[in-house]
Structure 1
């Protein structure tokens, strides 16, 4: 009988390979003139495995949903998604921007944002390439329609609210000091001080190569914790120094969780038994981080001037990352390195309102 575990940390059972595995894998096969063998078959299987690692699990899931949605749309219109038709794809993008009829998903009768439409198009391109086709995004039926959609419907990007140092302290103070509370406190403080994505937080192992699905590991030293991460932009190291107080120190919070959870190998942040008294072996799903942030935001009264539903929309996993970037008064190059950004411009996008009106060019011009 399966052991009862906390419901909040259970992730979806959907696997992206269930959607596109069979079709896309067909693109990785032996040439027709080469006879198969046990050795070559194993190499093909290994090559397919590497190909599936070319994108993150969340990206693959999104691309799988994009392809499934486009397939349903094509069936409704009496056409086939293969081979790619620039004309039909242009009409598909039009229908996403200005729906005119029944949608494969009733929740999508409303127009989609420009960023979502661009993501859908990228998903189609990836799926076509996995099936041995090339989607020409520069074709006039696609490029002209997309340019028109951007011109008419583009809006400034909606950014999640940054969590301030005062906010994070109020949030962790709402957590109990049982095993689950120790874990969640460590998640919030490590995520904030490290400027980590939620996927980076839950993918950490205690030691190098502890598990096959590891996204990095932690080395706890006297000055602090050194995180080695395999992130979106490649490998990077993140230094998290010890804080000025044990109550707010992310490294101390991490040590407390590891000690009482009796974790000395494998995933750092795991699920707990339903009664919250034992740590289990299973790694937390990254959605737990988002749910934890939203829950603590409400309990701590962060942005209490807004209705509850608006507050929930304002905060997400990225609020930790944006909070550090907006609050830490350090040279921009250090923040860029810490967050793993390729450009300073990307780092500035995370610094919510930090430098707004800091320099007054009107007065500098003598006006």
Structure 2
């Protein structure tokens, strides 16, 4: 008599046990999840390889992160090819050589992202990651100590409330002016990242009696795609009111018969008609720069991030509590907000103002 422990799988009962889902071919499911390395390591092949991963593998990171990984891996693979070494799987010495070769030329943040891409690629093919070796860890620690203190991150100026009013003041009634006004004012009031603005669809924006209810479906710090809801209330001034700015732009979209898809769209070169595709984050940054230049502000001093930084700084100066700012900006901890708050309150209750200078 065959014991239950040794009973062959073919003798399993035909009727499924309640609460248990039977898989027709479990081995096939495992095979589908197994990852085979890319056939070649050129940029397009790497992007195709990562784009073709099983959804369960890709779900933990955003599409933008996977694209960045593809670019980072391509850079690493190109360097490896010139050195005559294998990039995948790579030896710790290979990664060590890559860090030495690029430690001076690339920023620490770029190198850190490259290491992350290399690590993820090795984990995908179930190979030991060379980035975890002690030699690579020591080299990375040395780079941070050597280059970290003297490398400064380029900071753009914050577009404060007064600057925002200056940017939108010259805007008229053309469709492009109306779009840019809504883009600038909503970008500021929502403390949006440029990628979040670019990712908004018409279905994400609802007009209520109190203002705009906006669903942010994904963002840089929301890799799991849980999303968040924020509100944009009516403003006291028509020129900088996010609700009225949006309603005016929504009317333009309605005139063009657009009722779904991207909320902010590109124009043709002449500015006469709208394109079906949405704006990119880079295009949004260009709007900020172009409108800044039009009012005499150095366009190199601002970027898409200036709107987000300006809102946080302005709110901090107005005495808005950190937790309230974070609810709007999507920051997960007060520590990540502290740099903006320090800048915004630099001259508020400043000790040097009370010593009789």
TM range (shorter): 0.7 to 0.9
- Counterpart of 1:103 in structure 2 is none
**DSSP 3-state at the match of 1:204:** coil
Residues 161 and 315, structure 1, Cα contact 8 Å, conserved in 2: yes
How far off is 1:151 after superposition? 0.7
1:284 aligns with 2:306: no
Aligned counterpart, 2:244:
252
Aligned partner of residue 245 in structure 2, secondary structure: helix
TM-score, normalised to structure 2, is: 0.77
Q: Which has the higher contact order (CA 8 A, sep 6+)?
A: 1
Deviation at 1:137, TM superposition (A): 3.1
Q: Which runs of 5+ in 1 are unaligned?
A: 1-15, 29-47, 99-110, 208-216, 303-307
Q: For 1:305-355, what per-residue CA distance to the aligned partner results, in whole angstroms no more than 9, with x for missing partners?
A: xxx5xx51x321111111000002211110011111110111222336112
Among 306, 309, 321, the residue aligned to 2:308: 321
Aligned partners of 2:47 and 2:253: how far apart in 1? 37
Q: Which residue of 1 aligns with 2:324?
A: 334
| 1:2-42 deviation per Cα after TM superposition (whole angstroms, max 9, x unaligned) | xxxxxxxxxxxxxx99432554578x6xxxxxxxxxxxxxx
> Is 1:114 aligned to 2:120, yes or no?
no
Q: How many angstroms apart in 2 are the aligned matches of 1:97 and 1:351?
A: 32
Equivalent in 146, 149, 153 of residue 147 of structure 2: 153
How many aligned positions are there?
A: 301
Q: Distance in 1 between matches of 2:122 and 2:171?
A: 47
- Deviation of the 1:292 alpha carbon: 0.8
Larger Rg: 2
For residues 347 and 145 of structure 2, the distance between their equivalents in structure 1, rounded to whole angstroms, comes to: 29
Aligned with residue 339 of structure 2, among 349, 357, 363 = 349
Shift of 1:132: 3.0
Equivalent residue for 2:190? Answer: 194
User: Does the 8 Å contact 1:84/1:133 carry over to 2?
Assistant: no
SS of structure 1 residue aligned to 2:216: strand
Take 2:343 and 2:325, find their aligned partners in 1: how far apart are those partners? Answer: 16
In structure 2, the residue matched to 1:219 is 206
Q: Distance in 2 between matches of 1:89 and 1:323?
A: 39
Report how far residue 361 of structure 1 moved: 6.8
Aligned-residue CA RMSD in angstroms?
A: 2.6
* Distance 1:126-1:176 versus aligned 2 partners, 3 A rule: farther
CA–CA distance in structure 2, aligned partners of residues 58 and 284 of structure 1:
15
Residue 139 of structure 1 corresponds to 133
Over 3 Å counting, the alpha-carbon distance change for 1:273 and 1:325 in structure 2 is same
CA contact (8 A) 1:322 1:351 kept: no
- Is 1:79 matched with 2:85? yes
Distance change (3 Å), C-alpha of 1:361 and 1:271: closer
TM-score, structure 1 as length reference: 0.75
* 1:171 and 2:167 correspond: yes
Match of residue 46, structure 2, among 16, 20, 41 = 20
Residue pair 1:162, 1:352 contacting (<8 A) in 2 also: no
Task: Tell me by how many angstroms 1:279 deviates.
Answer: 3.1
| Residue 261 (structure 1) aligns with | 253
Contact (CA 8 Å) 2:95, 2:131: kept in 1 or not?
A: no
C-alpha contact (below 8 Å) 2:47/2:70 kept by paired residues: no
Report the structure, 1 or 2, having the larger helix content. 2
What's the CA shift string for 1:79-138, capped at 9, x where partnerless? Answer: 11122211110110111114xxxxxxxxxxxx2122221121112212222333231533
